[in-house]
Amino acid sequence: MKNTTLVIGIGNRYRCDDALGCLVADELRKHDQEGIEVVEHNGQAASLMEQWQGYSRVIIVDLVVSEAASDTIHRINLRKQFLPTNFCAYSTHGIGVAEAIELARVLGVLPPHIILLGIEGKWFTASERLSTWLKQAAKILADRILDEILEGKSYK
């Protein structure tokens, strides 16, 4: 297993708020921290499962849709919790993140430490327009990821 934390920013820069994971990846790359590998991913299930192979620690960043307020940040330890079904109600990835996680769980190939950080989104049209709060949220999530990896903090 690699002794590096893999951060996977899930998103599509051309679907408004769905660019969240890409924006967080951009923020993390500014820090260029040793021991942290950052990639962007479109969320396609089989490719996502392949992406995290060999890593003992994975953080997935994605936009979620549930009934929470649009600025709600979710942190889910995927080794201890199932992804809430209402998170899967809308996805621009088709068969994607939620299915990859649950398939990996069934096959016994989830990384030893895997969390999902998500924030509620609201705009999903074909555009590069972003919510002001989403730009701020990307920075907040990047800071939380760095705190968690570098300082061992865990936000609930």
User: Cα(77)–Cα(91) distance, rounded to whole angstroms?
Assistant: 20
Of 40-44, 62-66, 139-143, minimum mean pLDDT range: 62-66
The mean pLDDT of 53-59, rounded to a whole number, is 94
In what order do the strands lie in the sheet containing 36-41? Answer: 36-41, 2-10, 55-64, 113-120, 73-77
Would you tell me how many other CB atoms lie within 10 Å of the CB of residue 155?
12
What are the backbone angles phi and psi of residue 8, rounded to the nearest 5°? -110, 110
pLDDT at 9 over 70: yes
Indicate the domain borders of the chain.
2-151
Nearest-10 Cα torsion for 4, 20, 77, 35: 10
The mean pLDDT of 124-143, rounded to a whole number, is 79
pTM of the full structure:
0.88
What's 2-151's CATH class?
alpha beta
